[in-house]
Every structure is written in structure tokens, then in C-alpha cells.
Chain A
């Protein structure tokens, strides 16, 4: 019984700390998947099975409830064999205003003291709303334990002043971790550096607000359109038009109620 009531208690949250985040520089990624392995190992996530997709070296396909880092392999070659590889280690975007957090009806999904989006597993009841809300397709419900899972940004490691397992394991520093302000400065510099070298297709994904969508605390340096990496070019914030939707639907219900009153009261 005490367990049942415990979740209704609202203890004082820990004091806010510096906002931390990832900068994933895809121009440095060599597709070694050390991040995937380190993530699985640290977070004790099960393997995804040894299944070959057949289309590339990508065999985990997408982020999921048991895959919190996913390396995408984009192969852009023409018929003569000329072209390039693009590799990107994808992860939860830790949006500053996260659709999953806004949707979560139980308050399970929170922003923790490091400004990261975190699913409290003792609260989540597996309603599935965050799964449909995320514009990046990050969250999914685990069918064995019935709860939603995603990258925790190694909350447990951060509490002990350690960097996340994926960043620790990355051999090329394609995955950097630190205060998000520093990550953004670093990303700007890196883009300038690449542009100076003639790689003018490099740009940063997620460093500032993009219209209705908030900035991300997990930013990326990309070298092609976001779609090429299976990222949305301009994600929408689901709640942006919620009030308008409510206005229309309450309006319809009230209109029909009022008209029914008129029709039912008439004496013919």
C-alpha cells in the first residue's frame, strides 16, 4: 500500500544545475557503433537480435525502447562508385520544451536538474502518449515491462560527475558532452572550420529555436538535409495548436447543445 501512495507524494526536486547536453559531430563519426555498445552495456539494455537489414551496415535500424544510441549509415554513391559515406549517431534530442514531457499524463516525464528529459520508471504507466507525441520517433513502449523508455542522458552517471557512456566510449570525439552553452560554441566553431575548408554543406541542427519548436539540448552537425539522416526538417510542437483545437471542439459541442435545446423546445 505504501508503494501505491508513494508516487502521489511530490518531494522537493534537487536544485537545478548547469544544463548539460550532447553535441554529435557527424563529420567525425566513423560508424564504429562503440556508442551503441557502451549505451547498451551501461544501461543494461538487451540486444536487438542479429538480424541483417541488407541495406547498409545499419542493423539496429532506429532508436527504440532498447536502443538509445543508433548509428545511421547513409551511402551516397553514383553508378561509377564515386560518392561519400555519412554516418550519424542518433540519440534522444532532449528538447528544451519536449512534446513527450508535455503529453505525459502522469508527470512521469520530467526535466531533471541537468535540463535533460527523463522518464521516471516508477511513475510511467505505459499509456503510450509520449510515443505518439515525439516528432523524432525516439520513445517506444517496451512490451515486456509495459513502460516507455529512452535515453536518460546517463542521469545516473551525471549524478556522479561522469560523462554519459556513449560520449566516454566514442573514439573520435564525434560525441561530445558538456554544458550545452559550451557545446553550442564548439559547434559554431566547428562549422566555421569546416566551411573554411570548403565543406560548406555543414550546419548545426537544433541549436536555436526554430519557430514553434524549442532548441534541443542534444545538437548535431549535419552535412545533408535532415531527411537523409531520418530527422524531421522542421519538427512541429504538438501542443502549439492545442488551444485552437479545444476552441473548435468545445465550440462544436456547445453549438450542438444549444441548437438541440432550440429544436427540442419548439412547439412545432
Chain B
């Protein structure tokens, strides 16, 4: 542990508060469910379209339903909403936000086509018959696979976006991206489990899906522990701050432990377990996004997170030798 700073400047924050609010917490939650259900749907379809029929159908509808509110949320978050298209003015992988805007653009096509194709197959009245007859010809497997890289990117980038900032609670770890990806995946599996339980799907399919839920929840737990441990003092707003209850009661107890205990034993318990997992994932993302503000407000904490280390040396050392 390096020496801690002796003084701050009247305890005035070093950093500016991140501006992102509920829109972005909801966005990360919904786009995670969308990309996760998309991936599970494509996997199920490639494995066995016939036996996984219900899962594939639920995944296609869930992925489109969860992604539809996302563009309005992102646009509402901007200081100049009418300039949303400026995001696609450049292709700039050094900016995870630009990468995410392109990923969302690339993802929107396949997710809409698969949902449309499903609606055509289900003879949905929401679509005019001419449109349905066109959508019947969508090559489903090809479209599904084509959207996989974009769906993976949608799972992977949100946590990395937060990590690539100067806010201590987000940026002192390398595993926030992995945590968000795991949380998205477990929420997505829970959404599918909820729908299939509700519709009294085949028991064998429910049992398999239960295993996926447990795996993803377990991974989320491991990633969360890794995130909190590798963040050092940066994780303070989440460990002892006002968002600690979201993390420990919401995400850990409600989202991971309880569903593992009560799920897998009948319809009502299955529904309840899935709902808890979904809520836990939301609590986690809500807490992490909002904790950025508390983290930036903590003047001493921000200075402590900017003390010299091996890769960031600072500028004072050169003159300390000749100085006092």
C-alpha cells in the first residue's frame, strides 16, 4: 500500500460526477437481456430446432422486446438528443461508446429479422400479410449466426465502457466488463426460464435451462467477488456506501443465492426464482452505474486511487531526489 495523501484541497472533488443516470442503468440491464436471450436462442436453434422450439420462440421475442426501448433510452440520455446519429460519424474502437453504438447498429438487423421471421411463422396479426410472406423467407440459421458477433459485443462492452474512465469504482479493475456480461447472461437465462415456466414448457427443457441459470449465476457471483476484490479502495461506494444493500441484498442474496435454493422445484418456485435473478441483475447494474457519482464525489478516495504505482508513476519523483 502506497502512502496516502496528506491533504486534499478543501475536500473538493478531484473528478467530475458522471452524468449517466437511470436511463443508462436501464439500458445496460435491457440490452444485456436482449443479447443474452439472442445468444441462447441461436444456440438452442442450432442444437435442435424441433425439440427447443419453445425456447427459440421465447428467445426471439424476448430479444426484440428488450432491445426496443434501448435506442430511446440512449437518445434521452444525451445532452443533445437530436445529434444521436453523430455516434456513427466515425468508427473509433478506442472509444467503447463508439464501439457499442456500432455493435447496437449491427445487432439491430439480425434481432429484428429473427423476431419478424418468428412472427411470420406464428401468423402474428401485428404484421400485414404481405410483410409476413416476405419474412417467411428469412434464412433463420444464417441470420442467427451472423448476429452472434454483434450479440457478444453487446454483452461484452458495457462494463468495459464504464471501466475505461477515471472513476475509481469503475476503473481500478479489469473485470467489470466480465461481471456485466455474466450478469446479463444470467438475467437472460432467467427471462427465458420465466417465460417457459409460465407457459408450462417441456420439463426436460426446463431442467436444462435451470442448469444454464445456475452456471450463469455462479459465474456472476465469482465475477462480482473478483470485481470487488480487484477494485481495492475504489469499491468503497459499493461495499460500505449507500449502494451496498443493492449489491449484497439485491444482487448476492436476492439474485444469486435465493434463486439457487428455491428454483427447480415446480412452476411457482421456478417463476419466483427467475424473477429474483432478473431483479438481482437489475440491482447490480443500477448500483454500479449510480455508484460512479459517489465515487467521483469522494475527494480523498479519488486521490488515493491516483497514487503512483508501477505503470503510472506520476511526476513528482524526479525532483524528490534533488529536493527535500
Mark A residues whose CB is within 8 Å of B.
4, 7-8, 53, 55-56, 58, 61-62, 72, 74, 99, 102-108, 123-129, 131-143, 145-148, 191, 195, 200-208, 210-213, 225-242, 244-246, 248-257, 259-261, 263-266, 268
Contact = CB atoms under 8 A, between A and B. Distances in A.
Nearest to B155: A253
Contacts of A257: 39, 43, 152
Looking at chain B's contact residues, the main secondary structure is: helix
Nearest to A256: B185
25 contacts: A7-B83, A55-B10, A56-B10, A125-B80, A131-B18, A136-B14, A139-B16, A210-B314, A211-B313, A213-B312, A225-B5, A227-B8, A230-B9, A233-B306, A242-B160, A245-B176, A248-B177, A249-B156, A249-B157, A256-B185, A260-B40, A264-B44, A264-B52, A264-B55, A265-B47
Contact of B160 (A108, A134, A142, A246): A246
Given A131-B18, A141-B79, A146-B78, 18 more contacts: A61-B12, A123-B89, A126-B78, A132-B296, A134-B166, A200-B322, A211-B308, A211-B311, A230-B9, A232-B303, A233-B316, A234-B315, A236-B312, A248-B174, A249-B180, A252-B178, A254-B152, A256-B216
B18 A102 contact: no
A203 B323 contact: yes
A103 B212 contact: no
Contacts of B80: 124-126, 145-147
Interface stretch (B63-71, B95-103, B106-114, B243-251): B95-103
Interface in B299-324: 299, 302-303, 306-316, 318-320, 322-324
Contact of B208 (A55, A138, A140, A263): A263
A8 to B, nearest CB: 6
B43 A132 contact: no
Given A128-B18, A249-B181, A257-B39, A212 B312 contact: yes
A248 B177 CA distance: 7
Interface residues of B, number: 99
Contacts of B92: 104-105, 107
A248 B175 contact: yes
Contacts of B177: 245-246, 248-249, 252
Contacts of A230: 8-9, 12, 14, 299
B190 to A, nearest CB: 13
B20 interface: yes
A212 B311 contact: yes
